[in-house]
Structures are given as C-alpha cells and as structure tokens.
C-alpha cells in the first residue's frame, strides 16, 4: 500500500511576527519579504504584520518613483539641489526608523503611506 504524502513544511513556521515586520523594511529588498508575508497564511490574520508589509511595499513604490521620475529631473531641473538624492536619503532614514519601530512591536504610521497601509491591512480577506 502507498502511504499518503507527507504535508509540506511551511518555510515561514520559524519566522516570528517581529522578524517578518522588520524584513519588510529592508531597503531595496524588503518588497520581496512584503509579498511573501502578504501571501502567507501564517500572517493572514495578523493585522500588525500586514500593516508593516503594506507600508514596506508603499515605501518601495516611493523608491521607484524616485528612481523613475525624480532622478531624471535632477539633471535638468535641479542640477545643484540633488532633490532625488535627498528624497532617497529620507526614504532610507524612514526605512531604518521603521525597522527599529517594528522590532519594538510598534505599528508606527509614516506620513502619506501610513494611512493607506492601515486601510490596506484592515481589509477583510476571503477565508479559504
């Protein structure tokens, strides 16, 4: 007789909610952790972790806006101000600040993206 296949091990089983929240803010790479966290069943009901994942994604979108829109404008419109570099530095500081707050278990909202992250995290997901 054939034995039933063993259940697949959950790769996120050893990941704590604090660690998942911190990983969402790693600059330039946290978007991968955000997508994994949002797709994981383990964190589906954890609104704080989902908040950090959405806020981390929105920070990454801000990095993309900087890269695609502000950086080309720097050369033509702001050659001496380096607005893109200043914006990138602000985003880096915000990411580090949020990593510290996430490690303390706080769901601190950033200006502009925090409210959007709260709304996204509190949406009801269908239960499978």
Burial degree of 37 (CB within 10 A; 0-12, 13-18, 19+):
buried
Per-residue model confidence as pLDDT tens digits over 46-77: 999 999 999 999 999 999 999 888 888 877 77
Within 10 A of 20 (CB to CB), how many other CB atoms are there? 24
pLDDT band at 37 (very low <50, low <70, confident <90, very high): very high
pTM of the full predicted structure?
0.82
Confidence at residue 5, expressed as pLDDT on a 0 to 100 scale: 60
Domain boundaries, the chain: 17-122
Closest CA to 94 of 30, 47, 33, 38: 30
């Amino acid at each position: 007789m054939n034995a039933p296949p063993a259940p697949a091990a959950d790769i996120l089983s050893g990941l704590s909610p604090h660690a998942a929240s911190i990983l969402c803010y790693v600059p330039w790479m946290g978007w991968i952790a955000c997508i994994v966290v949002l797709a994981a069943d383990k964190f589906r009901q954890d609104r704080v972790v989902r908040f950090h994942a959405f806020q981390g994604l929105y920070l990454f979108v801000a990095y993309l806006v900087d890269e695609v829109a502000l950086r080309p404008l720097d050369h033509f419109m702001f050659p001496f101000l380096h607005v893109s570099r200043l914006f990138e530095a602000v985003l880096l500081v915000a990411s580090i600040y949020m990593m510290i707050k996430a490690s303390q278990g706080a769901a601190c909202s950033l200006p502009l993206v925090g409210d959007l992250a709260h709304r996204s995290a509190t949406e009801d997901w269908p239960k499978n």
